[in-house]
């Protein structure tokens, strides 16, 4: 038998919702996951932090995958989430979240692995957050979009002071300026690559 669709079956799937609502829900889920991970970390006496990035150690390469999901303590997590939730939400609105996050995640992690001091373990999402910020700051110049440039200027006025965290003499000894710097480099690379890819697609003739 064939039945008519049930129009009262619910509010629909996530993909049916407006972009701004989808983005808010996705960002809330990401933040919730980070808090759950930190709760597990705290319950195990922060043993999960041992899975961070160990510079120039082959068995520390796996930390590139896990480090942004781990934080040294609750204050570390809350500090990152306070800025990261806003920037992540804005990035989700651009529909470039996965590509940008993948690029800055890898570039930041590799930079930490190559250049951080030996016998250290680095954890935290700040490198990824720096990449998000840098991408949002400069993507308008690569895309040649005035409104994106204006958005970048506004973000610079609000969060510009954060960029000092890329400089070794501007941060404390336990802050990974390497992660911040290479996260920002990843943001630049992401903005350049995605803009170039979009222009190439636009230039292809229809067949």
Q: Is 180 helix (H, G, I), strand (E, B) or coil?
A: helix
Q: What are phi and psi of 53, to 5 degrees?
A: -85, 125
Tokens 């808010």 sit on residue: 24
Task: Kindly list the domain boundaries of the chain, sorted by start residue.
Answer: 16-198
Question: pLDDT per position in the chain (207 positions), as tens?
Answer: 454 555 444 557 877 899 999 999 999 999 999 999 999 999 999 999 999 999 999 998 999 999 999 999 999 999 999 999 999 999 999 999 999 999 999 999 999 999 999 999 999 999 999 999 999 999 999 999 999 999 999 999 999 998 989 988 777 778 899 999 999 999 999 999 999 999 888 877 655
Long-range pairs for 159-167: beta carbons < 8 A, 24 or more residues apart? 159/83, 159/87, 159/133, 162/83, 162/130, 162/133, 163/130, 163/133, 165/126, 165/130, 166/130
State the pLDDT at residue 7: 47
> Hey, what are 114's tokens?
């190559």
CATH architecture of 16-198: Up-down Bundle (1.20)
């Amino acid at each position: 038998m064939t039945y008519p669709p049930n129009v009262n079956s619910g509010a629909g799937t996530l993909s049916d919702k407006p972009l701004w609502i989808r983005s808010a829900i996705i960002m809330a889920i990401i933040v919730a996951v980070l808090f759950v991970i930190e709760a597990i970390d705290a319950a195990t006496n922060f043993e999960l932090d041992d899975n961070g990035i160990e510079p120039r150690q082959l068995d520390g390469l796996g930390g590139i995958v896990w480090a942004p999901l781990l934080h040294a303590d609750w204050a570390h997590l809350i500090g990152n989430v306070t800025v990261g939730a806003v920037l992540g939400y804005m990035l989700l609105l651009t529909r470039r979240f996965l590509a940008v996050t993948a690029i800055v995640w890898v570039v930041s992690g590799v930079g930490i692995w190559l250049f951080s001091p030996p016998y250290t373990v680095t954890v935290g999402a700040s490198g990824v957050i720096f990449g998000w910020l840098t991408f949002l700051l400069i993507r308008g110049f690569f895309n040649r979009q005035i409104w994106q440039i204006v958005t970048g200027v506004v973000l610079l006025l609000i969060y510009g002071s954060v960029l000092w965290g890329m400089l070794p003499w501007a941060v404390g000894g336990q802050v990974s300026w390497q992660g911040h710097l290479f996260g920002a480099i990843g943001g630049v690379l992401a903005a350049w690559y995605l803009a170039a890819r979009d222009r190439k697609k636009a230039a292809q003739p229809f067949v």
